[in-house]
Structure formats: C-alpha cells, structure tokens
Amino acid sequence: MKLDPELRLQILEKVGIYSNRFSILEPQILLSSKEVLDAPKEMTEGRRTSAYKYYGVSYLNHNLVFVNVRKIPDEKTLENTIVHELIHMRFPYLAHGKRFNKLVRQGLRGKTFSPYKKRSKINAI
C-alpha cells in the first residue's frame, strides 16, 4: 500500500478505536522504515534495522507500534496487522499461538476487553 495523508489518518483512527476497545493507552504509531530509523535508538532497540521485514512490530517498553504500510498488500491485512500488534500491547505476556490468534480474531469481530489489572500483593498479618 502507498502511504498518503488519508491512509495515515485512517490508520490512526483505527488504532484509536481498537486501543479503546482493548482498554489500552493508545500507542505512538510509526508507518515507515524511515520513521523507525528516525526514532531514538533506545525506543526501537531489538528490531530497529530488521523491522522492514515484518508487517508490524510492537515495542512494548515504549508503547510504540510500527505498521509497515509499504509491505502490506491490502486493507484486510492492514486491519489484521493493527489488531495483531495491539493485542501484543494488551496481552504482553502472551506469545503467538492458538490463544493469541483467537484474541486477534475476537478483536477483529469487535470484542472489547476490560482494563488489565495488575495483581497487587496483600499483606496478611
């Protein structure tokens, strides 16, 4: 796909909608390999120079997502990639697999997820 201002806006709108549904803070979105390379090295560490190989990459520690618009062939793949990367943000402990793919499918169908609650330690006396 070719990145133009209209497509950029559509992507940012979708990210906002899905972030809201998944009860996560809306991540910063990078949409080209150049934007990845222009970002501070500590933010894109690990998949800085190889990001161009993938449809998308989540940089969990910095609430940052790269969507490789140039590599994505169509609208359906674009939407799937956005949801896939945001599921990584919502469920950072979950690796690719059956459960992960099920969550992506549910997200694409419009499921909303409650806010993630960290377990707190209860001190018993």
Number of structural domains (the chain) is: 1
For residue 33, is pLDDT > 70?
A: yes
For residue 89, is pLDDT > 90?
A: yes
Confidence class for position 120, pLDDT limits 50, 70, 90: very low
- Residue 9: inside a domain: yes
- Residue 61: inside a domain: yes
- Residue 116: inside a domain: no
State the DSSP H helix or E strand holding residue 65, giving kind and residue range, or none if neither: strand 64-67
**pLDDT 10s digits, 14-23:** 999 999 999 9
Q: Which residues contact 78 (CB under 8 A, 6 or more apart)?
A: 1, 11, 67, 69, 72
Q: What is the pTM of this model?
A: 0.89
- Residue 98: inside a domain: yes
Higher pLDDT pick, 10 / 52: 10
Given this model, what pLDDT does residue 122 score?
Answer: 52
Helix 75-90 and helix 5-21: axis angle, to 10°? 40
Summary mean pLDDT of the chain: 91
- Residue 43: inside a domain: yes
Q: DSSP class of residue 31?
A: -
Confidence class for position 51, pLDDT limits 50, 70, 90: confident
Cα dist from 124 to 117, 118, 119, 120, 121, whole Å = 21, 19, 15, 13, 9
What residue numbers bound the domain in which 83 lies? 5-108
**Averaged over 61-81, what is the pLDDT?**
96
CATH of the domain at 39: 3.30.2010.10
For residue 47, is pLDDT > 90?
A: no
